[in-house]
Amino acid sequence: MTQKRVLVTEKIAEEGLEILRRKGYAVDVRLDMAPEELAAAIAPYDALIVRSQTQVTPELLDAAANLKIIGRAGVTIDNIDVEAASERGVIVCNAPTSNIVSAAEHTMALLLACARRIPQADASMHAGSWERAAFTGTELYQKTLAIFGLGRIGGLVAERARGFGMRLVGHDPYCSPERAAALGVELFESVGDILPIADFITVHLPKTSETIGMFGPSELAAMKDGVVLVNCARGGIFDVDAVADFVAAGKVDAVGLDVYEEEPCHDSPLHEFDNALLTPHIAAVTREAQVRAGTQIAEYVWEGLEGSIVPTAINAAPLPPEVMDAVGPYVPACQMAGRVIGQILGSTPKVLRLEAMGAVADADPAILLAGALDGLLAYRRIGAVSAANALAVADRHGIRVECEAVPEAGEYASAVRVTADGVEVGVTLYGANQAARVVSLLGYKIDIAPAKQTLLFEYVDAPGRIGAIGTILGEAGVNITTMQIGDKPAEQCALVFMNVEGEVPDEVLGRLREAIDLKNLWYITL
């Protein structure tokens, strides 16, 4: 048997390399490779292990003819094109728990350093001074800490801050009330309600279009005078230019940053302020975290190369042949159903129900459930949902899971129906390439393959509606590619599932709502 080869392009713990060598793999460590050098070298490798600097692009993946798995020795996967990897059948996995303790501790370190002015006092001492009054600080005790994002790291910060006697408030639309209560955090639905009461604010959020620039001038103006801000999550969540203005004005007492929009960061508007504590993205840089990241990713890469289910696979995990034959092709369809439901609901559901029908009724539904949950929780790309952890992920988000095998699938050989809090999507597979099709939605019978951008219209059926929709979209330059109409005669309602090319601006959505008496309009992106 040909020896499998693993390429490591960034430094990971020696303990991780040894695990792979003991498994019998040929491990090549080649650091600081230029993109073109990496593309020229990658073809014979079965696995690639990176950290945050190596950019895994579609072009690199095109050159990686033998690649089966990419391991990210850490949490974030911003440097990996997961969609391109999925299209090429390459698994992407990470080590999502490797550095969470280190990141939480660094957050607390910045909170304490800001509150007690430790860096400024240290600099003064090194300059030969002995000043005390200039470095009067504030206690954490009985102060209000606002935590935005109550995932793994946010939860660990809450536990540690509670030990300092802080009052904890938080905002996370995907955190269940039960989890927040267990952490001792008072949940707020509105960001605006938290800002005026927080003495300290820390963010633990993924990098999305909604979170970048989440705290700009208006949010900063609404904060309490003397607030302390900390970000060890993603650069850009705080508008740095605005923060600098508010630091200069004295509104923000101190800010601690470990992450930046562009890294390495050699200059920023905050560099001139001694009450801006800036560290070079070192929250995860501890000996313990590095060892955990290296050993965890080595184990996951080994599992992927041996055909086992990878617990932290970001995209579809490898399945045993018998499972793959039975339900594997339905995993992307269930992910798609979950994404549609998540965007219709706009919040985490309380109940998720999965019905495997027809030919897939007797198969283990765990991987289908994992696909549906992965799509439903697609807003978060830290960690992943797999057959091994699906129930734990559902429990952490306060979702009750129900699965049922249904022997008959109606007019189809097989189908899967996913329902969350009453929002239902039925899917089946079609053609030689087993493409996913939506065959029911919200109780309407349809049959259509979804595109990347879809408009869903629900309205009381009446003449002229489709014409009005087409006119508005045409005037806006939005092309309709395919369309299906489902109806409910008893309710005199219709549902239009319309695939379109390109993004649909909010202004166009507003015109559609004004022009047509709609029950619902959803803009779905997949």
Q: Active-site residues: which are they?
A: 234, 263, 281
CB 426 within 8 A of CB 415: yes
CA distances from 505 to 214, 472, 476, 515, 523 (A): 20, 12, 9, 16, 10
Ramachandran region, residue 31 (left: φ > 0; alpha: ψ -120 to 50; beta: rest): beta
Report residue 397 as tokens: 């988000």
What's the CA gap between 19 and 299, in Å, rounded? 7
CB 69 within 8 A of CB 301: yes
Ramachandran region, residue 307 (left: φ > 0; alpha: ψ -120 to 50; beta: rest): left
What's the CA gap between 425 and 417, in Å, rounded? 6
The structure tokens 């109550």 sit at 150
Report residue 75 as tokens: 């949490």
Query: Amino acid letter at 119?
Result: P
CB 42 within 8 A of CB 6: no
**Residue 358, strand partner residues:** 414
Burial class (CB in 10 A: 0-12, 13-18, 19+), 485: middle
Give the contacts of 381 (CB within 8 A, at least 6 positions apart).
76, 77, 82, 206, 314
Instruction: Count CA within 13 A, CB hemisphere, residue 105.
Output: 10
Helices (H), 306-408: 321-326, 330-345, 366-376, 390-396
What's the CA gap between 225 and 286, in Å, rounded? 34
CB 173 within 8 A of CB 194: no
CB 192 within 8 A of CB 222: yes
- For the sheet containing 91-94, what is the strand order? 26-29, 5-8, 47-50, 69-72, 91-94
The structure tokens 């579609």 sit at 58
Proportion of the chain in helix, strand, coil states, percent, rounded to 5 = 35, 25, 40
